[in-house]
Amino acid sequence: MIQPHGDGVPLSVPEQSDDWVHQIVHGTPVPTFVIDANHRVTHWNPACEAVTGCPASAVIGTDRSWAPFYAKQRPVMADLIVDGILAEQVDTYYGGKCRRSVTVPGAWEAEDFFAHFPGGGKWLSFTAAPLTDCDGTVVGAIETLRDITAEKRAAQALRESEHRLAAIVEGSPVPMFVIDEDHKVTHWNKACEAIIGLSKEQMVGTSDQWRPFYPEARPVMADLVVASDTESKVATHYDGKYKPSELIDGAWEAIDHFPYCRGGARWLYFTAAPLRGLDGRVVGAVETLQDISAQKNYERQLEHQATHDSLTGLANRFLFEDRLTQALAQSRRTETLIGLLFIDLDHFKVINDTLGHAAGDKVVQTTAQRIAKAVRAGDTVARLGGDEFAILLVAPESENVVADIIGRLIVDVSAPIEVDGQELVVGCSIGAALSPRDGTSGQDLLMHADAAMYRAKESGRSTFQFFTREMNDQACERMTVERDLRRALENDEFELFFQPQVNLFTDTIIGAEGLLRWHHPTLGMVSPDRFIPVAEETGLVLPLGRWVIDQACRLGRDWTADGRRLRISVNLSARQFHDPGLVRQVQAAMARWGTDSLAFDLELTESTVMKDTAAAAAILSRLKDQGVRLSMDDFGTGYSSLGQLRAFPFDMIKIDRSFIMDLHSGHGAEAVVRAIIGLAESLNLAVIAEGVETERQRDFLRAEGCIEAQGFLYSKAVPAAEFGRLLNRSP
Ligand SMILES: Nc1nc2c(ncn2[C@@H]2O[C@@H]3COP(=O)(O)O[C@H]4[C@@H](O)[C@H](n5cnc6c(=O)[nH]c(N)nc65)O[C@@H]4COP(=O)(O)O[C@H]3[C@H]2O)c(=O)[nH]1
């Protein structure tokens, strides 16, 4: 029998061994107690007192006296051991919570919560082992306790925080998932399921289920975060599409296209942030996804609009120039050619003016499709404006290849186009420049291809022209013109010349056409054909035109001061015609300089008035109200119909120089001239022939009843003073 050790009582041998037990039990810092075969507590060490709050005096010698802190009416583990009861019985009391010790034979272990310890409730883990005598008879049991309250609380706290995390992830409307440090998915919420199309069941516990929606073999962003990858590694997988988060340390953001999401392809913006343990170590990552498909599609739409022509869907000038720059850089590296083609449709304006804009659009669209079909996939076709297209040929093998492509384009483009039941044949003129031969910068190539295209147009329609050095000189001159035109007016470099207009039967000067001359400081006399188009484009034609009108009226006043009747005409360009200040300006000049004997005449071409016929008719009638005469210039070259001509208040038709030039050349110009004269007569309009150079032409015109003419036969355009002298000599 093991007895508690009492003070001053001599020890027998068994007592001696009892004393050893006492010393061992009391010497161990592990809470330990011993019971004897009658379940009475024989030893209860200070550590046991400390953990339970129960003094040894309260329990030593008792059996069930600890019941007060052991609320559940069941034996302590040591009791069961002493009774040598079967495992099943242990289970009865410690159902599921106890296990056989793997280190001490015959011992059992369990853990439980003790709610009624004097020091407060505690979790204890306890191990009870049998004590046997030399025969192996169980004479008691020893039980050690371990306070596991802190561990239990920590585990509980962890469970709760995990539960909270799960609740946050699950309840979040933002698609998100979590992976652990082994890259396994631990959380995968409903929103994620909805967007990706893979269920929580499919994803949780796995690390390679991404493949279905992540076709490229690369880690998901969260994997990179868990691996604490460097920026260079992230860049390898998310080249150009990622950035470090500005808000969360160690987090990355990226945008990518996922073709296999639920409901089709999506653009996702995702952020992966590290999950850190208390020690700061990365133990997982949380990734949130945002479907930005709508925004991305809108952006792409805007980008497409900003870089493409809306009518044809072809690249616009902006994109074209960008591609050209890239292609040139590439061609420098690879030492290959670049071909640049400019295509302009022949007589497109006429189609637009006569058949309407819808027909014009159809022609442009059809042409765009044909051009796009005629070139290779890597080449770029752009619409630069109205009927102007450009093609960037990347690495053509030779100039001959470019020529072949051009030949094909001319044939393809000029195939008939059906518009409103009519078949139209629209030819084109093509200009080509090659790099490096004709220039190595985009600007040079564009300029040179443009110059070549203009040359092609000049040399007859439906043809092409490669750029030449001589064109370069012309292009340079055009740039000089553009630059110098701005200060030419201030510098008084313009002069208005006059070309007499005569009565073919009496040879009397009845009027004059004012024609501009520019005395350029270095280029010398520049003809209006070279600078008027530039002045039109830059808007400089407006101040210049004002000056011309004023000059013409002032000189006209001088020449008619003596009561002589005279008509002075000036040309009006389209831009001037549509200038809202025109009528007021003409009125002011006429009021300032006008005389009763002076007829002031404005010459307009067909194309100027045919653009917007209703508006043009209104402007023309306001001009007429000011007493201005109106002449239709270059008549016969455009496509105005008789009906349209009747709608405008013109006084005179000018037969274009080209018809007069072709008289007697076998081109049938006689019939055209005769028809125009007849038309003018029937409409009660005056008619004047321009460009009369020979007596034969004059005689023909006389015979056909044309009364007025101008041309080199009589005089070229001369300075005002000289015209004054001619006038004085005129009968
Ligand atoms: N071969 C030949 N040519 C003849 C003959 N008779 C006259 N010409 C030329 O034919 C052109 C007639 O002017 P346009 O058709 O109005 O064509 C004009 C007109 O469209 C424009 N222009 C001239 N001055 C002005 C101006 O003050 N304002 C505007 N807006 N345009 C102007 O420039 C064009 C060219 O003017 P120019 O070079 O002066 O050329 C003038 C004139 O010099 C001839 O018998 N044979």
Q: Strand 598-605 vs strand 566-571: parallel, antiparallel, or unpaired? A: parallel
441-479 pLDDT tens trace: 999 999 899 989 988 888 776 788 999 888 777 767 777
Query: By alpha-carbon position, which residue is closest to atom 5 of ligand 1?
Result: 691
CA atoms of 96 and 104, how far apart (whole Å): 20
Helix (H, G, I), strand (E, B) or coil at 476: helix
- Phi, psi of 115, deg, nearest 5: -80, -20
CA atoms of 621 and 609, how far apart (whole Å): 12
List the structure tokens of 342.
Answer: 């400019």
Distance 529 CA to ligand 1 centre (A): 8
The string of DSSP letters for 347-386 reads THHHHHHHH-HHHHHHHHHHHHHHHHHHS-TTSEEEEEET
Query: By alpha-carbon position, which residue is closest to atom 31 of ligand 1?
Result: 571
Q: What is the pTM of this model?
A: 0.48
The answer to whether the CB of 500 falls within 8 A of the CB of 726 is: yes
Q: What domains are defined for the chain?
A: 13-147 (3.30.450.20), 156-297 (3.30.450.20), 313-467 (3.30.70.270), 487-729 (3.20.20.450)
CA atoms of 720 and 557, how far apart (whole Å): 12
pLDDT of res. 618 = 92
List the structure tokens of 491.
Answer: 């510098």
CA atoms of 553 and 596, how far apart (whole Å): 12
Q: In the structure, which protein residues have their CB atom closer than 6 angstroms to any atom of ligand 1? A: 499, 515-516, 527-529, 532, 548, 570-573, 603, 633-634, 657, 690-693, 710-712, 717
547-600 pLDDT tens trace: 999 999 999 999 998 899 999 999 999 999 999 999 999 999 999 887 788 899
pLDDT higher than threshold 60 for residue 336? yes
The ipTM, to two decimals, is: 0.95
Ranges of H-type helices in 375-505: 399-413, 442-458, 469-488
Distance 515 CA to ligand 1 centre (A): 6
The string of DSSP letters for 142-204 reads EEEEEE-HHHHHHHHHHHHHHHHHHHHHHH-SS-EEEEETTS-EEEE-HHHHHHH---HHHHT
614-651 pLDDT tens trace: 888 999 999 999 999 999 987 876 655 566 677 889 99
Per-residue confidence band for 214, with pLDDT thresholds at 50, 70 and 90: low
Helices and strands: H and E segment counts in the chain:
28, 29
- Cβ neighbours around 494 below 10 Å, total: 18
Range with the lowest mean pLDDT among 461-465, 504-508, 662-666?
461-465
- In 3D space, the residue among 504, 530, 537 whose CA is nearest the CA of residue 516 turns out to be 530
pLDDT higher than threshold 60 for residue 725? yes
Range with the lowest mean pLDDT among 62-71, 136-145, 222-231?
62-71
19-45 pLDDT tens trace: 788 888 999 999 999 998 888 889 999
Number of residues that this document lists for the chain: 731
List the structure tokens of 72.
Answer: 């559940």
Sign, CA torsion 300/302/307/308: positive
Query: By alpha-carbon position, which residue is closest to atom 2 of ligand 1?
Result: 691
Query: By alpha-carbon position, which residue is closest to atom 20 of ligand 1?
Result: 571
Which of 498, 515, 657, 713 to probe ligand 1 with, by most ligand atoms within 8 A of CB?
515
Distance 717 CA to ligand 1 centre (A): 9
